[in-house]
Chains A and B, each alone.
Chain A
Amino acid sequence: MTDPSFPQSRRDLFKMIGAAGGGAAMYQAMTTLGHAAETQFTGPPRLSGAPKGSSVVVLGAGLAGMLAAYELMQAGYKVTVLEYQDRPGGRNYTIRGGDKIVEVGGATQTCTFAPGNYVNPGPWRIPHHHRTLLHYCKAFGVELEPFIQMNHNAFVHRSKAFGGKPQRYRDVAVDFKGHVAELMGKALNAGSLDDKLTKEDKDKLLVAMREWGVLDKNMSYTSNLAVSGQRGYDKAPGGGVGGAPTPSQVNGLSDVLSSNVWTQMGFYFNYVMQTTMFQPKGGMDMIGKAFAKRLGKMIRYNAKVTEITQNETGVTAVWEDTKTGQKASTSAAWMVNTIPLPVLNQIPMQVGPKLQAAIKAVPFNGQLKIGIEMKRRFWEDDYSIYGGHSFTDQAIGLISYPNNNMFSDGPAVLLGAFANGAGAFQLTGMTPEQRIEAALAQGSVFHPAEYRKEFISGVSLAWSRVPWIMGCTSRWTEESRAAHYQNLCAIDGRIVLAGEHATYYGGWMEGSMLSALDAVERIHKKASAA
């Protein structure tokens, strides 16, 4: 006979802990036992029992706003979403043929990509541990496909390395590893580290260096067939009489160091950059569209919020229809406000000085992306590059190859730039035509014979000039976190902020969604207590 109060499995145990101590206790227990710890997501909130007749107005139909609206709707609130644009998704955005882009300042582009082609100018890759986003994708039937994050056969280019000639990532990464292992071996054998290691560990480390670095019997990193087994051959192994391979020539340490390849190697070690990664089939905005479909007419598009007021019983958003100029207002018991801070800090809003100060304390970075349509997949046909990124220290930052429809004929779209910092400012300050010219000039370094020849058209999104956000990602510092983060997140009367800026996971959709879940749980608790 089994004791019903004794957990039969780990799952039962978690359920018991969850029932006794709530989600946080369960999460902590799971972490202790070696699960989770990959996101703060512990499952959808399953809110219920909204106070009768209670209402919420949500500002912004990006992922944070729509997730908040969806969960509050499930709980029984009457929800209205006000959105400035004529589409849902916010930064969850895909540009396709026929789409028009109008910038602050008036520059206008119309994308001319072939049907089925697109560029994701905002988020474009989803880590496997972003459980909130993946949960809702699965629940809403958003089909995901692999995003090719790491490609050893793509290029690394640095203007002052290898005479400006791009190198295959595989070659320089293997060479870097080999040279470092050789030097480590020399230091160990010279006894330089004897005071840091036991004899036993020193011996193990020497074996590790030899195997990891593919060093020869003299503990040297040299050109040979074993090394070519990692970095590729001069003449690849074949069949029949001419089947014998010949080794490739390793690069010298000095050249390898000048390539800075450790930055890419380190990049792939980042938790958010590790494989497996995903993208929605057909474009990132499939996620925003899936949410919008479930919210239906709750979303009021083309609504420009101009003022926000509140009192003890409710909150009001004053807005204007950008198509008709008609003025209106929407009142509710509560507000979830996801308007990006660069815009929100200029909208009059009746909140306390601490929240006001927090809203003004967070500037935004202004990344820029460019999509370039090419007549054919020369990177696949001529270079054996299937997805992944070629990195450069030029303003464009990288070019990235499409992850879908591999081996197909006809036009395909490359990501021709993902610029940040000074490079993003330089490209943003140009006209759309100048940006494409710069992207072609810089991207040609990787594919000189094909890049201009196969070019059809390009489209750029300069986030600093996007009218509804005027930036891309929030920029916190340790100082501003300490002074303002809690104030930004705290409920002010009837208003709570949510979105990418109200999270420690800035620049990721997961962060926006975690922020929204936290906000609706707190609002629901407060509404239920009222």
Chain B
Amino acid sequence: MKARLVLGVGVLTLAAATGLRAQDGPGGGPTAVEVASEGREVYEQICQACHMADAKGGSGAGAAIPALAGNPRLADKDFGTTILLKGRGGMPWFSDILTPEQMAAVLTYVRSHFNDYKDPVTVADIERLAAL
């Protein structure tokens, strides 16, 4: 199962890189930007770009970036995992930016810090859904 996940990540990374090549881009090749491993730091470095520092999201032109704080859909442990793996609407998948460890860490942080769901999301949870 683990091997399948690793393969899946590799394919997605390649697809993303190919996709970006046709579009305008800075042209410096992949950056050396490293995402932290700790849940709160992953949130600050990646998620809060759209969901905001307070995880309350925000509204735009007849559309909104959903709040993660106080979001009852996150009661389902797999809800956030599926979105990180597959994307949803305007939000892209993050399987080419985050490792399963980082996904588990940040989902655990979002569910426990901005909500009251204390049971952690584990790497095994991520791998189970990635293998589907």
Contact = CB atoms under 8 A, between A and B. Distances in A.
Interface string A460-478: 0010111111110101111
A478 B15 contact: yes
B21 A429 contact: no
B48 interface: yes
Interface residues of A, number: 70
A152 to B, nearest CB: 15
Interface string B120-132: 0000000000000
B16 to A, nearest CB: 8
Contacts of B53: 429
B15 A104 contact: no
Contact of A422 (B15, B31, B59): B31
Contact of A470 (B28, B44, B63, B93): B63
A125 B24 contact: yes
B46 interface: yes
Interface stretch (A196-204, A246-254, A343-351): A343-351
A314 interface: no
Given A263-B27, A478-B15, A104 B58 contact: yes
A421 B45 contact: no
A476 B16 CA distance: 9
Given A419-B26, A428-B49, A343 B60 contact: yes
B89 A475 contact: no
Contact of B97 (A422, A471, A478): A422
A424 B30 CA distance: 12
A497 interface: no
Contacts of A393: 28-33
Contacts of A270: 21
Contacts of B34: 422
Contacts of A507: 22-24
Given A272-B22, A425-B46, A507-B22, A470 B27 contact: no
A418 interface: yes
Majority secondary structure of chain B interface residues (helix, strand, loop or mixed): loop
Interface residues of B, number: 44
Contact of A397 (B22, B31, B89): B31
A100 to B, nearest CB: 16
Contacts of B30: 393, 421
A464 B49 contact: yes
Interface stretch (A70-78, A137-145, A184-192, A362-370): A362-370
A397 B62 CA distance: 32
B19 A477 contact: yes
B35 to A, nearest CB: 6
Interface in A308-364: 341-343, 345-347, 360, 363-364
B92 A364 contact: yes
Given A305-B62, A478-B15, A363 B49 contact: no
Nearest to A477: B15
Q: Give 7 nearest A-B pairs by CB, closest first.
A: A342-B90, A507-B23, A263-B29, A397-B26, A467-B60, A391-B28, A428-B49
Given A343-B63, A426-B49, A462-B49, 8 more contacts: A105-B58, A264-B28, A346-B63, A360-B89, A364-B90, A394-B32, A428-B49, A508-B23
15 contacts: A264-B29, A273-B27, A345-B89, A346-B63, A391-B28, A393-B28, A393-B33, A421-B33, A422-B31, A422-B33, A422-B46, A426-B45, A462-B49, A467-B59, A506-B23
Interface of A: 84, 103-106, 123-125, 156, 158-160, 260, 263-264, 267, 270, 272-273, 304-306, 341-343, 345-347, 360, 363-366, 389, 391-395, 397-398, 418-426, 428-429, 462, 464-471, 473, 475-478, 505-508
